[in-house]
């Protein structure tokens, strides 16, 4: 009969290590630009900004749509950090927590679009699951 206490402790140690790594990544103060996240999602930065704008997550701060900020509902959640350049321009960058949030929102949106269009197939589910 296996010793479940030893197995449980091994599992707990692995889970603890993963949780600690996850916490460190999510608390990282280094910002990620929208282009990098869009690339991960196989989208253009403009398409990602438009999608997040359509979902009422971000809005443009000027008519050129060159700078986007979070709606009040999403502020103070640790999704963005700001960086001031030498020319005093402020860039808003995504945190790891914000990156994870965007991936989650886009994944849920893709699933809802597929479900709405009644084109749900095993291939679509497999591609999203991978």
What CA–CA distances, in Å, run from 19 to 15, 22, 23?
6, 5, 6
Determine phi and psi for 95, rounding to 5 degrees.
Answer: -85, 175
* pLDDT at res. 98: 93
48 or 6, which is more confident? 48
The pLDDT tens digits of the residues spanning 46-98 come to 999 999 999 999 999 887 767 889 999 999 999 998 888 788 777 889 998 99
pTM above 0.75, yes or no: no
């Amino acid at each position: 009969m296996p010793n479940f206490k030893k197995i449980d402790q091994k599992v707990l140690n692995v889970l603890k290590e993963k949780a600690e790594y996850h916490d460190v990544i999510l608390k990282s103060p280094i910002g990620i630009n929208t282009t990098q996240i869009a690339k991960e999602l196989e989208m253009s930065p403009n398409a990602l900004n438009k999608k997040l704008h359509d979902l009422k997550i971000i809005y443009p701060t000027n008519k050129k749509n060159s700078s986007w900020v979070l709606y009040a509902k999403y502020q103070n959640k640790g999704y963005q950090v700001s960086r001031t350049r030498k020319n005093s321009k402020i860039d808003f960058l995504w945190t790891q927590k914000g990156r994870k949030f965007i991936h989650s929102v886009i994944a849920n949106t893709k699933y809802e679009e597929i479900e709405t269009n009644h084109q749900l197939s095993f291939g679509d589910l497999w591609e999203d699951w991978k």
